[in-house]
Amino acid sequence: MHDSILANVARHIHLTAEEATLFTGLLVPQHIARDGQLLGAGQRALYLTFVVRGCVRTYATDAFDKEHILAFATEGWWCTDSAAFFHRTPATLALQALEATDLLHLSLDHLEQLCQQVPKFERFFRILSQNGFQLLQRRLEAHLKLTAQARFARFHRQSPRLHQRVAQKHIAAYLGVTPEFLSMLRKKKA
């Protein structure tokens, strides 16, 4: 179960066997059934979570109970409500498994311990944060500048397999369109 997270870390830093053992010893595994809730709005975000297998959506619900999906995390991706996790405040986002999902959790206290004992993890999590911020910025720019059709084409190009794993209503919520409009876009593309 730890092979995929160690491979993820190895993309940015090299760990000794002892450092890898320390790191994996701090991780808490969890299996979540399909549609299971990892985090609800208003709860404490106790973990930074790595997806070993499965798919998680991160979303917010507006005052009209409409869901807005910020991100999908599949194998090899990290997810949490970052603001709630780092500030230890109630979450404003929710995380839900869209498939049966295997996860590895890292608490904030263990993250701090890890960075103190193995300083190169500061670099790893800085790179992770930078990459996440860049993805979010590009997604926000696309949402502001591109038409719905162009956003759909971009999503299809960047995540070609995800549209087969995720329900149309979730893709529509991610793109900011109705499921009916998404269906029309899919028909045009075909």
Same domain (yes/no): 11, 60 = yes
Looking at residue 173, its pLDDT comes to 93
User: Tokens 């793109």, residue?
Assistant: 175
**Rounded distance between C-alpha atoms, residue 175 and residue 155, angstroms:** 8
Same domain (yes/no): 92, 186 = no
How is 13-55 classified by DSSP, letter by letter? Answer: ----HHHHHHHHHT-EEEEE-TT-EEE-TTSB--EEEEEEESE
Question: What number of residues does the chain have?
Answer: 190
pLDDT averaged over every residue in the chain: 94
In which band, very low, low, confident or very high, does the pLDDT at 46 lie, cut at 50, 70 and 90? very high
Looking at residue 14, its pLDDT comes to 97
* 99-126: average pLDDT: 97
Same domain (yes/no): 113, 151 = no
- The pTM for the full model equals 0.93
Same domain (yes/no): 160, 130 = no
Looking at residue 190, its pLDDT comes to 65
Residue type, 95: L
In which band, very low, low, confident or very high, does the pLDDT at 163 lie, cut at 50, 70 and 90? confident
For residue 92 the two structure tokens come to 């404003």
Last residue of a domain, one of 103, 119, 138: 138
Same domain (yes/no): 155, 127 = no
Which CATH number do you get for residue 35? 2.60.120.10
Same domain (yes/no): 156, 96 = no
Q: Which residues are registered as beta bridge partners of 30?
A: 103
In which band, very low, low, confident or very high, does the pLDDT at 105 lie, cut at 50, 70 and 90? very high
63 pLDDT more than 90? yes
Of 187, 111, 116, nearest in space to 149 by CA = 187
> How many domains does the chain contain in total?
2
Q: Which domain holds residue 54?
A: 3-138
